[in-house]
Each structure stands twice: as C-alpha cells, then as structure tokens.
Chains A and B, each alone.
Chain A
Amino acid sequence: MSAWLEIKDLSAKVGEKEILKGLSLSVGKGEIHVLMGPNGSGKSTLSNVLCGDPMYEVTGGSVTFKGKDLLAESIEERACDGIFMAFQRPVEIPGVTMTTFMKYALNARRRAAGLSEMDAVSFIKRLKIRAKAFDISEEMLKRPVNVGFSGGEKKRMENLQMAVLEPDFCILDEMDAGLDVDAVKVAGAGVQIMRGPERTFFVISHNIGFLREQIKPDFVHILVGGRVVANGGTELMDEVEKNGFSRFYKEA
C-alpha cells in the first residue's frame, strides 16, 4: 500500500534542461512538510510538476496521489482532486473580479465532486467570513484577479483562495518571498488557520524564522540537484541555518 502521496524516481525537464533527477518522497495525510534547498535544486519544479504545469515535461518516475496515477490527470482534474498551489508570482487576469473567479473555481470543484453548485448568496457569505480572517476588504474582492495588488496583498489573496476552496493538499511556493517584515507575519496565516488532520502542506521557503515561527513543520526535506538528499525534522532547519547547504552538496 503506497502512502497518501508517493513520489517515486521522478524526473522532469524544462526545455532541454533536466531539473528533477529521480526524486522520491513519501507524504502522509495531515502532515506539514518543508522543502528546502539551494536555488535550482528543483523545489518549484517539483511543485509545478505535481500541479501539471505544461512547461515541464515528466521524463520518468511516478506519482501516486490518493491511490491514483496523478501524472495521468489534467491540471484541473488534479485541482479538483484537492491539489492547490499558492503561487510565488500569481498572474494578473484583467477584467475578472476575484469574487467571480473564486466562485467559478469553487463550483468547478463542487461539480467534479458531484455536488450542486453553490448559489451566489451562500458563496458571498462564505467568502466574506473567510476574507475577514486574512484582513481582506470587500473592495479588494471586487478588484480584478491580482491586478494592481501589492506583493503582500497577492499573498493574502492566495491564502484566501486556499481557505475558500478547502483543498486537502496545499503547496505554498515561497509565500514569504519579497515581503516586508509585517507582511511576512501574516503570510503563514493560511497554514495556521487551515492545518488539521485532513490537510497536508508542502511549504517551500528559505526563511527559517518564518518556518519556525509560523509553519512549525512535522518534516523537513533537503533538495539538491533534483533529488531529496536528506529527510528529517526541524533539526535540519537548524543545521541549514548554521551551515547552509554545504554538507548536503557533498551527499548529493
């Protein structure tokens, strides 16, 4: 019986460049995992390959998610299966309001789950309650998707989408990157509010203070050269904080 999420010997390239080179990882339900590693080690590539970004070509290996062959599914099938990515640089979609967008997304998931679509009134209620938790004003919800948002606002919106869509596997790609001190303090709010036995998190970050104070992971993995070279707990973060990735380069 394979784990909830089982990644085996995964290889992937972008263009001609091989980035993942036989990466393996087992992940259980309700766990919080942190992925660390130097730039170019494959953290973001792994996240996007799991989501099905067509930019990347899988060249080998397998991914099993909830007992299904994940790599055979389309981007949206994976999303409806519960995979959510909080993007490092969310793209702008002019003319489409955040509210409309989230309603479409939620109802796409509900349809896929065989549920009826949520009516506008119930949806707005759900949205407003959750928006409050992330300090998002109603005015912000009326703005077009990510258009004219500051870095911090974009991250709050990614958090809000996560809270509204209630995925069970959340990937947070450098939630804290490029934020000022105050904004970093709320970047982890999504994880804090939503962590629980039903939900698994992948958190990518270089910021050990952020990870330690806000994320409080169960497991830490070190990626180097497209492979996982070390698995452990928070002690790995301590080591990286002290010595950087030098030891792991050798192991790779």
Chain B
Amino acid sequence: MAEEKLSVRDAVSDTYKYGFTTNVASETAPKGLSEDVIRFISAKKNEPDWLTEFRLKAYRHWLTMAEPHWGMIAYDPIDYQDIYYYSAPKTATAPKKLEDVDPELLKTYDKLGVPLQERAALAGVAVDAVFDSVSVATTFREKLAEKGIVFCSISEAVQLHPDLVRRFLGSVVPYTDNFFACLNAAVFSDGTFVYIPKGVRCPMELSTYFRINAQKTGQFERTLIIADDDSYVSYLEGCTAPQRDENQLHAAIVEIVVMNNAEVKYSTVQNWYPGDKNGKGGIYNFVTKRGLCKGVNAKLSWTQVETGSALTWKYPSCVLAGDNSRGEFYSVAITNNYQQADTGTKMIHLGRGTTSTIVSKGISAGHSQNTYRGLVRMGKGAENARNFSQCDSLLIGGSCGAHTLPNMVSANPTASVEHEATTSKISDEQLYYCRQRGLSAEESVSLIVNGFCKDVMQKLPMEFAIEATRLVAVSLEGSVG
C-alpha cells in the first residue's frame, strides 16, 4: 500500500518538470468560479494586467448572461460552480504504461491505424517523451522560426508576443459574443497561437504531431491564428483517435484573422468521447469558431469531420469584410447512439464581390439527433456577393433525427444566395448490392457513407483524409443490425 502511494507521488512530481514548482494543493483552484479564481488563474500564468482585466471583464459580463437553449440539443443543467477551472494535468490517475490502457481503446487505435508511438500520448499515459516527436517538434519549430512564423502555446505568446496577442485577442470573437465564448474569455486554459508574417507561405501543415505533446490545453482551449498579407497556412486540429478526457464541459474559442490576399485552411477532426451506447457520459462541446477575412481577396476555409462528443454546439463562421474575400465550410457530422450535434456555419457577407460555399453532410444513426444550422447574411454593401449551400442528410435506422435549418437574409439586390438540401436513407437496394458482392453490412454502410461524404473528405489534407475514412467506419459501428 505504502509503496503504491509513493509511486503515485512520483508520477505527480513528474509533471513538475513541465514547470510546476509548487505543491499539489495550490496547483488547483477551488471548485467554482469567482473573481478570485480568475485572478488565481491569471497569476499562475504570470499574465500581464491587461489580460487579467480582460478575463475579469468577461467574467463580470458572463454573470449577466444566460445559457442559450435554442439548439436542438437536450441535456441536464450544467452546474458551473461544480467545475474546476484551473488544475494541473491529471497525471496522477493516468495509466503509466500503454499496457495499462483500456484494451477497447487500444483496439480502436488499431482500427484507425494510429501510429504506435502516438497511442500512448493519446491514451494519456503519464510518461514524458514517450516518443521522438518532441525532438521532431523542436526541429519543426526551428524551421518555422527561420521564416518568422510564430507557432506556440497562447500562454507563451502572451509572454513573447504580447503586442500581437493584445491586438487580436477577442477582436473576432468578443467576450460579449455568447455565453460560452464569454466563459472561455474569463477562464481559458491554453491553446495555440499562430502568426504567419507577410508574404510567407507556411512550409508545412501545422498538425497533429505537435499537438500531441504541445498540448494539455484542457477544456477551455483558445486558439488565435493571424495570417498577415499574402501569407498562407494550413492548420490541422485534433486527431482521429478518441482522446481521453475526464472533463465533461468543453468551451473552446478559435479566432482567425486573415489579411489581404492571405489564405487560411483550418481542418478539424473532432472525436472526443461520445458517451457509451446508452448515452451515459461524453463530452459537452460548446465551441465558438470564427474567422475574419479582413483584407481584400482573403480566403478562409473550414473543413470539419465531427464524430465525437455527446453534445456538439459549433458553428465555424466567416465574416467576409474584405472585398472579394471568400469563405468555405465543408462539414461531415456523424452521430450515433445518443449523440446530439447541432452544427453548421455562418457566412456574413459585408464586402463587395465576396463569395462563400457551404457543403454539409450529416449522418444520423442509432438514437442520435443531427442538426445543420446555418446563417448566410448578405449585407447592404455585399455588392455582387454569392453564396451556395448544399446540405445533405442521411438517416440510418428509424430512431434517429436529421434536421436542416438554414437561415438566409439578403439586403442587397445584386447578391445571390442559394441553398439546397436533401434528406434520405441508405436504400435497401444499395445495401443488398454491396452485400451481394461480399461486403458485410457494416462495411457496406461505411462505404456508402464515405461515398456520401466524398465532397467534404476530398477537402481534407491527404494523410488526414485516409484516417477520416477509417473514422467513419468506426463511428458507425453497431448502427446496422
């Protein structure tokens, strides 16, 4: 008994290598939210006064707000005073070796083809540098620094590039934006900061590899990406493997600023724990993602594959302010068992000649509910602006729901907005045909669903696309009997 306790303490002290120097008790703020807790978080991160003030202002505003309930999602009330808003990574309870990890989880990694060296990190194994990618990451970082690209955690950025952070933080998603964004502004834990200087084309996809280790960002993640004039970056968030996380509430913010002639591609694969077959547990994912195409000819493209979380509430958006700027949204959302997803996009056309394209593919199985919710707004100044949206839903089984709720508003007679949507099921004929050729019912469904999603999958970076195809199959397991 005594020995075991000792090893736990050892494991805890391991985390101190990453910069925690005080004892365990003071690493965790008390449960609940108050100005003191926020000051504590800010102090822990050694933040400048303006940032502390930013958090406090957000917190005071949050107190006046009510949780939104317009989404087609149902859940028990969240007790915001029953959540830890700051705590050290929970390595003490984490498995210590890959062999200690739940075999079911390992089986899933296998199906997804996750490289061996990544599995430990994903499973939350409390070992430092289980793999080489720390050094890989360092090499990458050096290469990026040569080009003047900043790629670091947002906490680091606050210390190293305070002017940039101060100028852009909250400039696209103000803390007043919505309840969850406001909460995030008050308590955000960590996240990613990217700055691409003028005229620089980021030589590599900023991707998963980094994230596995650079990231213990926690449940209130905040990302800020700035692409200066004539620059380009492709950013990949998340990975296909299910990630172990004990926090139920996630409220993240992603803010993107795209300047003149710059382009940002943001791809997400979201596969947080969706809860069990009976709908118990799972992550509540309330995310605010928005990009501002500030400059002329700016381009922002969101691609997402959403298969995880018990609840998803997420609308990656583009504010098309610069003339001739372009917004894109390509989405696959799969829900199974008792998952609920209410996701879509907003395209706000302000500038002349702005264009946007929306392609959304929703797949519902089991007892899940899957909603596409969108807004396309053509402002008075959106001269000759164009939007086209295509939303298709596929139903698997008779106990799930698929809903399509696009909103369109046009106040400019030269602008055009077009939306098309279909809802259908996998036909018995398609299933029979595939099975007659020898495919199992599950293989058939996954093949047909991947075909249905093809237009979106093609938009993913190559390596991601292959993983995402496998993910479709894994997500729909058990959906046909």
Chain A interface (Cβ within 8 Å of chain B)? Answer: 51-55, 74-76, 79-80, 83-85, 87, 90-96, 100-101, 104-106, 108-109, 112, 144-145, 161, 165
Report chain A residues within 8 Å CB of B440: 76, 108
Interface pair B433/A105, CB less than 8 Å apart: no
Interface pair A93/B438, CB less than 8 Å apart: no
Query: When A76-B438, A96-B448 are in contact, do A108 and B429 touch as well, CB less than 8 Å?
Result: no
Closest residue of B by beta carbon distance from A75: B435
Report chain A residues within 8 Å CB of B428: 54-55
Interface pair B452/A94, CB less than 8 Å apart: yes
Report the bound CA distance from A229 to B448 in whole Å: 41
Report chain A residues within 8 Å CB of B167: none
Chain B interface (Cβ within 8 Å of chain A)? Answer: 427-430, 432-441, 443, 447-448, 450-455
Report chain B residues within 8 Å CB of A161: 437
Interface pair B438/A80, CB less than 8 Å apart: yes
Report chain B residues within 8 Å CB of A101: 434, 437, 447
Report chain A residues within 8 Å CB of B448: 93, 96
Report the bound CA distance from A94 to B430 in whole Å: 10
Contact partner, A109, options B430, B435, B438, B455, Cβ 8 Å: B438
Interface pair B451/A108, CB less than 8 Å apart: no
Instruction: Write the nearest CB–CB distance from A44 to chain B, whole angstroms.
Output: 13
Given A91-B430, A91-B432; 12 other pairs, CB 8 A cutoff: A74-B435, A76-B438, A76-B439, A79-B438, A80-B438, A83-B436, A84-B436, A92-B430, A94-B454, A96-B451, A105-B434, A161-B437
Interface pair B447/A79, CB less than 8 Å apart: no
Report chain A residues within 8 Å CB of B437: 79, 84, 101, 104-105, 108, 161, 165
Closest residue of A by beta carbon distance from B452: A95
Report the bound CA distance from A37 to B13 in whole Å: 83
Report chain A residues within 8 Å CB of B455: 95
Closest residue of B by beta carbon distance from A110: B438
Of B437, B450, B451, B453, most A-chain CB atoms within 10 Å:
B437
Report the bound CA distance from A72 to B254 in whole Å: 54
23 A–B contacts, CB within 8 A, in A order: A51-B436, A52-B435, A54-B428, A54-B432, A55-B428, A55-B432, A75-B435, A76-B439, A79-B436, A84-B437, A87-B433, A87-B436, A91-B433, A93-B447, A93-B448, A94-B451, A94-B452, A95-B455, A96-B447, A105-B439, A108-B437, A109-B438, A145-B451
Report chain B residues within 8 Å CB of A91: 427, 429-430, 432-433
Report chain A residues within 8 Å CB of B453: 95
Report chain A residues within 8 Å CB of B433: 87, 90-91, 93
Interface pair A104/B432, CB less than 8 Å apart: no
Of A80, A95, A144, A161, most B-chain CB atoms within 10 Å:
A95
Contact partner, A79, options B435, B441, B450, Cβ 8 Å: B435
Report chain A residues within 8 Å CB of B436: 51-52, 75-76, 79, 83-85, 87
Report the bound CA distance from A6 to B450 in whole Å: 39
Report the bound CA distance from A185 to B229 in whole Å: 63
Of B439, B443, B448, B450, most A-chain CB atoms within 10 Å:
B439
Report chain B residues within 8 Å CB of A53: 432
Contact partner, A112, options B432, B434, B438, B441, Cβ 8 Å: B438
Interface pair A104/B443, CB less than 8 Å apart: yes
Instruction: Write the nearest CB–CB distance from B179 to chain A, whole angstroms.
Output: 38
Report the bound CA distance from A92 to B448 in whole Å: 10
Interface pair A93/B450, CB less than 8 Å apart: no
Query: When A104-B443, A108-B443 are in contact, do A95 and B450 touch as well, CB less than 8 Å?
Result: yes
Report the bound CA distance from A123 to B79 in whole Å: 57
Instruction: Write the nearest CB–CB distance from A249 to chain B, whole angstroms.
Output: 32
Report chain B residues within 8 Å CB of A94: 451-452, 454
Contact partner, B439, options A52, A95, A108, Cβ 8 Å: A108
Query: When A54-B432, A87-B433, A91-B433 are in contact, do A104 and B439 touch as well, CB less than 8 Å?
Result: yes
Closest residue of B by beta carbon distance from A109: B438
Closest residue of A by beta carbon distance from B444: A76
Report chain A residues within 8 Å CB of B450: 95-96
Interface pair A108/B454, CB less than 8 Å apart: no
Of A84, A144, A145, most B-chain CB atoms within 10 Å:
A145
Report the bound CA distance from A144 to B436 in whole Å: 18
Report chain B residues within 8 Å CB of A108: 437-440, 443
Interface pair B435/A144, CB less than 8 Å apart: no
Report the bound CA distance from A54 to B447 in whole Å: 20
Report chain B residues within 8 Å CB of A112: 438
Instruction: Write the nearest CB–CB distance from B454 to chain A, whole angstroms.
Output: 4
Report the bound CA distance from A76 to B441 in whole Å: 8
Which 7 pairs from chain A and chain B are nearest by CB?
A95-B451, A96-B451, A95-B454, A75-B435, A105-B437, A79-B438, A108-B438
Report the bound CA distance from A162 to B46 in whole Å: 69
Closest residue of B by beta carbon distance from A106: B438
Report the bound CA distance from A75 to B440 in whole Å: 8
Report the bound CA distance from A95 to B440 in whole Å: 19
Instruction: Write the nearest CB–CB distance from A57 to chain B, whole angstroms.
Output: 14
Interface pair B451/A93, CB less than 8 Å apart: yes
Report chain A residues within 8 Å CB of B452: 94-95
Report the bound CA distance from A39 to B436 in whole Å: 24
Report chain A residues within 8 Å CB of B438: 76, 79-80, 105-106, 108-109, 112, 165
Report the bound CA distance from A55 to B427 in whole Å: 12
Report chain A residues within 8 Å CB of B447: 93, 96, 100-101, 104
Of B430, B433, B452, most A-chain CB atoms within 10 Å:
B433
Report chain A residues within 8 Å CB of B434: 93, 101, 105
Report chain B residues within 8 Å CB of A92: 430
Interface pair A76/B435, CB less than 8 Å apart: yes
Interface pair B430/A93, CB less than 8 Å apart: yes
Report the bound CA distance from A79 to B432 in whole Å: 11
Report the bound CA distance from A241 to B376 in whole Å: 65
Interface pair B451/A144, CB less than 8 Å apart: yes
